[in-house]
A = this chain, B = another copy of it.
Amino acid sequence: MSKQDLGELRGTIDQLNLDILKLINERTGVIQEIGKLKEKQGVNRYDPVREREMLNVLKKVNHGPLPDGILEQVFKSIFMSALEVQQDEQKNALLV
């Protein structure tokens, strides 16, 4: 292995990390908007049926190399992150 090979591959990973972060932040922003709409309606923000549907769609289109089981773990962590952001906001609002 030349150091250059490893360096190039790591550079690709660094860029992918940034691209993934950008999309997850975008996703979090949209979930916040959905949360506000639901709040107006007094509807619960957490919707396990919708989560299950999203996971099913993702597993259907997934061609790997990520196996479906690990896909599910990662996306549950992404889904959970958006909920946690909203819970933090509510907590902070109560502290004001």
Mark A residues whose CB is within 8 Å of B: 1, 5-6, 9-10, 12-14, 16-21, 23-34, 37-38, 40-41, 50, 54, 57-58, 61-67, 70-71, 73-75, 77-78, 81, 84-85, 88
Instruction: Identify A17's interface contact among B19, B54, B66, CB under 8 A.
Output: B54
Asked whether, in the complex, the Cβ of B74 is within 8 Å of the Cβ of A78, the reply is yes
Q: What are 20 A-B interface contacts by the 8 Å CB criterion?
A: A1-B41, A6-B37, A10-B34, A10-B50, A12-B30, A13-B31, A16-B27, A16-B30, A17-B27, A17-B75, A21-B58, A21-B61, A21-B75, A24-B74, A25-B64, A28-B65, A70-B81, A74-B77, A74-B78, A74-B81
Q: Which residue, of A10, A12, A74, has the highest number of chain B Cβ atoms within 10 A?
A: A74
In the assembly, what is the distance between CA of A10 and CA of B33, in Å?
A: 10
Asked whether, in the complex, the Cβ of B34 is within 8 Å of the Cβ of A13, the reply is yes
